[in-house]
Amino acid sequence: MLSDYHTSKNYTASWQRNVPYLRELQPHPAIHIHPDTATVRGIQDEDWVIVESPHGWLKVKAEFYPGIRPDTVMILHGWWQGCKELGLADYPLLDGGTNVNIMYSLDPEKTFDPLITAMSSQTLVEVKKA
């Protein structure tokens, strides 16, 4: 199960990826994955991985996160900006990029949670080494 979050120790929402100092601290998008889940898939900490849902796919780095459930992965929302000062290009907005929104259904009947009427930010995924 993939879920996204919007704030980290370095970034807020989908902004600030173009700030050189912040990108030096966290240069690449990463998915939090339990070490046991990663090991079964031949994934090491910091490996580039492909995350596929029924709706799209991302290419991000694996970040071992022992505190996460083994059946869950999480990614920070908002990776699209490059950082020209560090030679880091913008990420594509569609398949192969890091825009987590492409991982979710666009079908209006499936997009919103009927109880709270908010867009769902969870979907089933498979993670494999890139």
pLDDT band for position 112 (cuts 50, 70, 90): low
DSSP H or E run through 22: helix 20-25
Span 44-77, pLDDT tens digits = 999 999 999 988 899 999 999 999 999 999 998 8
pLDDT band for position 12 (cuts 50, 70, 90): confident
pLDDT at 51: 96
pLDDT at 122: 79
Q: What percent of the chain has pLDDT over 90?
A: 52
pLDDT at 79: 85
pLDDT at 86: 95
Span 14-36, pLDDT tens digits = 778 889 999 999 999 999 999 99
Q: Which residues of 13-51 are buried (b: 16+ CB within 10 A; e: fewer)?
A: ebebbbbeebbeeeeebbbbbbbebbeeeebeeeeebeb
State the pTM of this model.
0.86
- Asked if residue 43 has pLDDT above 90, the reply is yes
Written as six digits, the tokens of 62 are 């694996």
pLDDT at 59: 94
- Asked if residue 115 has pLDDT above 70, the reply is no
